[in-house]
Amino acid sequence: MIYQDKNNCPTLEELSEFVKNPVFMQLCSEIKNTYKCNEQIEYSACSWEKGWNVKFKKAGKSLCTIYPREGYLTILIVVGRKEKPLVEEILPDCVAELQTIYAQTQEGNGQKWLMIDLEDQEKLYDDILRLIEIRKGAAHL
């Protein structure tokens, strides 16, 4: 499987074929266009999450990491000390699923590493974009 082959870096299009869900390319395109940044496709060999992932960074700051799955994707967004008050301010307006993920994610070194599964372009998709916007903007706080 191309997703697990660390010697063969897939393209974004090949990862999209693996995911088989249009939300993958939609999210990648939206991040690229909004923040004028390109993806970095990297292989993670950590025991927790082996395989290829897609990282988006702006001005050296990580915006998010997307882990392709069959049929959906998982997005990692780090909520650090700077972002925490802003995220907690909007959290009551977010979908219950995201509120639960945030509440159940352990904090370490002043950060929460939110792992969010995404299957469609419903409200959770919009909430993820709001978190990425906070993440990007917090670099200037």
In whole angstroms, give the CA distance from residue 84 to residue 86.
5
CATH number, domain of 76, equals 3.90.1150.30
Of 41, 36, 60, 39, the C-alpha closest to 51 is: 41
Q: Give 138's pLDDT tier (boundaries 50, 70, 90).
A: low
Query: In this predicted model, what pLDDT tens digit does every residue of 103-124 receive, in sequence order?
Result: 999 999 999 999 999 999 999 9
Let me know if residue 86 belongs to a domain: yes
Let me know if residue 92 belongs to a domain: yes
Let me know if residue 110 belongs to a domain: yes
Let me know if residue 63 belongs to a domain: yes
Let me know if residue 4 belongs to a domain: no
Query: In this predicted model, what pLDDT tens digit does every residue of 62-98 receive, in sequence order?
Result: 999 999 999 999 999 999 999 999 999 999 999 999 9
Let me know if residue 6 belongs to a domain: no
The number of domains in the chain is: 1
Query: In this predicted model, what pLDDT tens digit does every residue of 15-68 receive, in sequence order?
Result: 999 999 999 999 999 999 999 999 999 998 776 678 899 999 998 889 999 999
Question: 58: domain range?
Answer: 12-140
Structure tokens at 102: 């945030």
Structure tokens at 103: 């509440």
* Burial (CB count <10 Å: 0-12, 13-18, 19+), residue 118: buried
Let me know if residue 130 belongs to a domain: yes
Sheet bearing 111-118, strands edge to edge: 39-44, 51-58, 61-68, 73-79, 111-118, 107-108
